[in-house]
């Protein structure tokens, strides 16, 4: 570079620094400015020889990250200084001790957390992204600002990715969608979350991104005309009330448009709520709520509201601190439009998240809000001893889920994810309450533990010292905290029963002249179609494998060698063949996702998974779901680059599966008909009935029965037998 170019660059760096101080959201004291100046000088010195891929001086990156932290997120001087220094220890000769000595323990701790995230160890057996996510969240133990600065760092990287090779762009964009956007959402950084999603789409699906972007650009004039028409209608009424306000129109994000197009299976033109209108008003704290409802009243005087689309986040703020009144009204030209009513304070919180929320609080109150949020995250981390992919799937469910608000019997308000059950509520109150749950009342009425709660429900948990978790509870609980606690108790209980079962089994096999060793254990696991030796010992411990069954095994075990050598005479199978046969016998069906759905799939050729292998599904563009082994050579690449296309998968033993089916029967009403039907179902076929409903009308009858069967063949046989009953005219499965 020429001397003139160097001087010009230095002038630009100085300008950026002054801009950083000017746009800071927090009021900076002289000491704050001194701290930021020192951090700036160290960062300039540390990065003086470094350049980014685009060719510009590296120092522009930490300054840009600090500007995001200072202005868009609105954090304090310590955070701004830490942002300026975030790459110093990782990329230069400065050490953590140097930072500690120059800037104190807090800044050093934050910089250390940021450096740790960058140096995460690679583990070839699990998704790198998932492990990054878990380890990053563990840094919350140190300081929440670590995560917030990391989000700002990722945001700036996403804004400046054009000079990177395409494969890196796709990888970083996928990771951003997988990790950073959900975190930004959870912290209440809605603007940055939206930007991260849009930028991710720009690199993962550029054609889709550009198509929607162009259509938004083309319709800008129409949008503005619509917003002006809407504003004009209510403007006079708002002014008459002496309100001080502004009305803004905001187009929905490109990413959210894409989501709507997919979810509703519509084109861009067919989306009915493309933008939202915000009414932001000035108010003192005492009148905020009163004025919000006054504005609501004026808007709904002019435009008909959709009653099911009212969201009152003022009376019950989101756990991120977000407050606003959302209504959807039928606007001009017969179009639905979302109207968001916020005070200036609420608007700041919506834009800046936690930083703005605590600007309006003092002393201990400032810290409490972040403490509450940190505690929620910590609960999910407490039992993070599952594999990283499962952990992330479960954790993200709770991060992204919408909230409901329910009441305790004393009227205290509790926030839970949408879809939560009374069991989730019990564990939310306290772990011990969850562990001792015997039943639940919702709005004074006794309900099953798997009932889905709704906002406004009042929930009472009935406890008993004799109650304890059982395996069914995993079907009833949806939150990460409840599921982790239940799994932990069931594991410990199972181990304890299994230890007793192992000794019982040793004695019973000894009486059959068989030793309990690795060979006999493996043969028994295979014989009883189980997954592990722990399952075997546990079933013996609870008595579901009894003396008669053990004798059956002993008989087959003593004949095993004869059978083995006979088979060997026909063909000499490899150990792999034997293992394959045993595994295939045990696990013959593949299911996907948390709901264990049966979906169409293909086994990938690169790793040739067989029944019993640990696997995952990958949603390919042209071939549907491709199934790979978890240790497949391509697994890391797929999970890092296309994490949003990964779905969990596992093999199950279909003979252990049971399915619910509804059968409808019609015919002529005969005396004793119901008795004949139940006899066929329960006594002859030995099928479980869940529900039974019969009605008669003018000598004919109609009956509906819910049965539980193992497979379609049993159901077919059952319907055939029912058709043979005198008087039944038709039997159909719904």
Run of H or E including 340? strand 336-343
Mean pLDDT of 200-229: 87
Higher pLDDT, 251 or 155: 155
* CA gap 495, 22 in Å, rounded: 62
Give the mean pLDDT of the chain. 79
The CA dihedral of 555, 559, 561, 567, to the nearest 10 degrees, is -130
* CA gap 352, 99 in Å, rounded: 28
Identify whether the C-beta of residue 58 lies closer than 8 Å to the C-beta of residue 44. no
Radius of gyration of the chain (CA): 32
Supply the DSSP string of 141-186, one letter for each residue: GT-HHHHHHHHHHHHHHHHT-TTS-HHHHHHHHHHIIIIIHHHHHH
- Lowest mean pLDDT segment, chosen from 107-111, 387-391, 437-441: 387-391
Kindly tell me the burial class for residue 466, based on how many C-beta atoms sit within 10 Å of its own C-beta (0-12, 13-18, 19 or more). exposed
Q: Dihedrals φ, ψ of 342, to 5°?
A: -140, 145
User: What pairing do the DSSP bridges indicate for beta strands 601-603 and 625-629?
Assistant: parallel
Q: What is the tens place of the pLDDT at every residue in 688-731?
A: 777 788 887 776 788 888 887 766 667 788 888 888 888 888 88
User: Which DSSP symbol is given to 622?
Assistant: S
| Helix segments in 360-421, DSSP class H | 364-382, 388-400
Return the SS3 of 389: helix
* pTM as predicted: 0.57
* CA gap 433, 439 in Å, rounded: 11
Return the SS3 of 673: helix
Strand partners, 625: 601, 619
Identify whether the C-beta of residue 337 lies closer than 8 Å to the C-beta of residue 273. yes
User: Which DSSP symbol is given to 661?
Assistant: E
User: The tokens of 722 are what?
Assistant: 């029912």
Supply the DSSP string of 471-531, one letter for each residue: TTHHHH--SHHHHHHHHHHHHHHHHHHHHHHHHHHHHHHHHTT---SHHHHHHHHHHTT-S
Strand partners, 667: 701, 728
Residue whose C-alpha is closest to residue 268's, from 213, 319, 224? 213
Identify whether the C-beta of residue 155 lies closer than 8 Å to the C-beta of residue 196. yes
* CA gap 223, 251 in Å, rounded: 8
User: What pairing do the DSSP bridges indicate for beta strands 589-592 and 601-603?
Assistant: unpaired
Return the SS3 of 11: helix
Q: How far apart, in Å, do the first and last CA atoms of the chain sit?
A: 77
Q: What strands, in cross-sheet order, belong to the sheet with 459-463?
A: 445-447, 437-442, 459-463
pLDDT of residue 656: 57
Task: Give the C-alpha distances (Å, rounded to integers) separating 301 from 218, 234, 242, 295.
Answer: 32, 9, 17, 10
Return the SS3 of 707: strand
Who contacts 461 (Cβ-Cβ below 8 Å, separation ≥6)? Answer: 422, 425, 426, 429, 433, 437, 439, 440
Return the SS3 of 659: strand
pLDDT of residue 340: 93
Please name the residue that has the structure tokens 């599952």.
386
Mean pLDDT of 512-531: 82
* Cβ atoms within 10 Å, residue 221: 9
* Cβ atoms within 10 Å, residue 125: 12
Handedness of CA 575, 577, 580, 581 (dihedral sign): negative
Q: What is the tens place of the pLDDT at every residue in 551-583?
A: 888 877 666 544 544 454 444 444 444 344 444
- Out of 118-122, 205-209, 515-519, give the one with best mean pLDDT: 205-209
* CA gap 301, 236 in Å, rounded: 13
90 is annotated as an active-site residue? yes
503 is annotated as an active-site residue? no
Q: What is the homologous superfamily of the domain 214-359 according to CATH?
A: Beta Polymerase, domain 2 (3.30.460.10)
- Cα atoms in the Cβ-side hemisphere of radius 13 Å centred on 359: 21
Residue whose C-alpha is closest to residue 133's, from 109, 112, 117, 122? 117
Q: CATH number of the domain at 3-211, out of 1.10.3210.10, 2.160.10.10, 3.40.1710.10, 3.40.50.1000?
A: 1.10.3210.10
pLDDT of residue 141: 53
User: The tokens of 698 are what?
Assistant: 């003018």
Higher pLDDT, 188 or 100: 100
Q: What is the tens place of the pLDDT at every residue in 338-347?
A: 899 999 988 9
Identify whether the C-beta of residue 342 lies closer than 8 Å to the C-beta of residue 278. yes
Residue whose C-alpha is closest to residue 719's, from 643, 669, 672, 664? 664
Residue whose C-alpha is closest to residue 269's, from 211, 356, 189, 192? 211
* CA gap 303, 337 in Å, rounded: 10
Domain boundaries, the chain: 3-211, 214-359, 487-572, 585-654, 658-733
Residue 497 reports pLDDT greater than 50: yes
- Lowest mean pLDDT segment, chosen from 52-56, 135-139, 321-325, 455-459: 135-139
- Residue 281 pLDDT class (50, 70, 90 cuts): very high
* CA gap 204, 200 in Å, rounded: 6
Q: What is the tens place of the pLDDT at every residue in 591-624?
A: 887 767 778 888 888 877 877 778 888 888 777 8
* CA gap 213, 610 in Å, rounded: 44
Return the SS3 of 250: strand
The CA dihedral of 438, 441, 446, 452, to the nearest 10 degrees, is -100
* CA gap 174, 152 in Å, rounded: 17
Return the SS3 of 582: helix
* CA gap 150, 138 in Å, rounded: 14
Return the SS3 of 439: strand
- Residue 291 pLDDT class (50, 70, 90 cuts): very high
CATH dotted code for 658-733: 3.30.70.260
Q: Which residue is catalytic, options 90, 273, 460, 596?
A: 90
Q: Which residue is catalytic, options 9, 19, 56, 91?
A: 91
Strand partners, 248: 278
Strand partners, 413: 407
């Amino acid at each position: 570079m020429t001397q003139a170019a160097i001087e010009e660059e230095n002038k630009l760096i100085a300008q950026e620094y002054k801009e950083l101080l000017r746009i800071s959201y927090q009021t900076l004291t002289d000491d704050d400015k001194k701290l930021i100046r020192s951090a700036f000088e160290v960062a300039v010195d540390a990065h003086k020889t470094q350049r980014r891929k685009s060719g510009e001086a590296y120092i522009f990156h930490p300054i840009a990250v600090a500007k995001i932290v200072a202005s868009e997120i609105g954090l304090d001087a310590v955070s701004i200084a830490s942002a300026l220094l975030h790459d110093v220890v990782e990329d230069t000769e400065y050490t953590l001790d140097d930072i500690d000595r120059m800037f104190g323990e807090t800044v050093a701790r934050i910089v250390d957390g940021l450096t740790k995230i960058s140096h995460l160890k690679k583990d070839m057996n699990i998704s790198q992204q998932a492990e990054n996510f878990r380890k990053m969240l563990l840094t919350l133990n140190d300081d929440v600002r670590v995560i917030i600065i990391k989000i700002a760092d990722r945001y700036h990287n996403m804004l400046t990715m054009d000079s990177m090779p395409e494969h890196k762009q796709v990888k970083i964009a996928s990771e951003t969608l997988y990790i950073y956007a959900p975190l930004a959402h959870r912290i209440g950084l809605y603007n940055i979350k939206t930007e991260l999603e849009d930028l991710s789409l720009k690199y993962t699906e550029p054609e889709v991104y550009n198509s929607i972007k162009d259509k938004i650009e083309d319709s800008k004039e129409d949008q503005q005309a619509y917003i002006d028409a809407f504003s004009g209608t209510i403007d006079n009424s708002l002014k008459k009330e002496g309100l001080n306000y502004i009305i803004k129109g905001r187009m929905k994000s490109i990413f959210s448009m894409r989501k709507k197009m997919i979810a509703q299976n519509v084109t861009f033109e067919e989306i009915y709520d493309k933008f939202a209108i915000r009414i932001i008003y000035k108010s003192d704290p005492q009148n905020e709520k009163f004025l919000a409802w006054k504005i609501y009243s004026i808007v709904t005087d002019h435009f008909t509201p959709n009653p099911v689309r009212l969201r009152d986040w003022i009376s019950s703020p989101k756990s991120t601190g977000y407050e606003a009144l959302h209504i959807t009204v039928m606007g001009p030209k017969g179009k639905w439009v979302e109207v968001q009513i916020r005070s200036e304070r609420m608007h700041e919180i919506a834009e800046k998240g936690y930083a703005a929320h605590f600007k309006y609080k003092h002393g201990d109150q400032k810290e409490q809000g972040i403490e509450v949020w940190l505690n929620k995250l910590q609960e999910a981390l407490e039992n993070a001893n599952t594999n990283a992919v499962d952990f992330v799937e479960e954790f993200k469910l709770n991060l992204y889920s919408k909230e409901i608000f329910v009441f305790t019997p004393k009227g205290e308000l509790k926030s839970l994810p949408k879809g939560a059950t009374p069991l989730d509520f019990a564990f939310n109150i306290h772990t011990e309450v969850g562990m001792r749950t015997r039943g639940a009342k919702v709005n004074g009425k006794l309900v099953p533990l798997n009932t889905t709660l709704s906002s406004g429900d009042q929930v009472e948990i009935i406890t008993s010292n004799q109650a304890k978790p059982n395996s069914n509870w995993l079907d009833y609980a949806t939150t990460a905290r409840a599921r982790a606690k239940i799994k932990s108790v069931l594991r410990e209980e199972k181990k304890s029963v299994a230890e007793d079962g192992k000794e019982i089994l040793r004695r019973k096999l000894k009486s059959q002249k068989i030793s309990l060793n690795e060979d006999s254990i493996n043969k028994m696991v295979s014989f009883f179609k189980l997954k592990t030796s722990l399952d075997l010992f546990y079933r013996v411990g609870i008595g579901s494998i009894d003396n008669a069954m053990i004798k059956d095994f002993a008989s087959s075990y003593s004949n095993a060698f004869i059978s083995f050598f006979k088979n060997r005479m026909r063909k000499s199978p490899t150990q792999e063949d034997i293992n394959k046969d045993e595994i295939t016998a045990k696990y013959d069906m593949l299911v996907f996702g948390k709901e264990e759905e049966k979906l169409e799939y293909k086994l990938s050729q690169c790793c040739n998974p067989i029944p019993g292998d640990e696997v995952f599904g990958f949603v390919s563009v042209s071939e549907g779901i491709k199934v790979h082994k978890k240790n497949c050579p391509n697994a890391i690449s797929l999970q890092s680059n296309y994490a949003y296309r990964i779905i969990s998968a596992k093999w199950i033993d279909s003979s252990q599966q049971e399915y619910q089916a509804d059968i409808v029967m019609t015919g002529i009403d005969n005396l004793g008909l119901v008795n004949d039907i139940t006899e066929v179902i329960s006594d002859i076929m030995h099928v479980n009935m869940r529900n039974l409903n019969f009605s008669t009308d003018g000598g004919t009858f109609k009956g509906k029965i819910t049965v539980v069967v193992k497979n379609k063949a049993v159901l077919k046989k059952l319907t055939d037998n029912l058709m043979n009953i005198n008087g039944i005219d038709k039997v159909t499965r719904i």
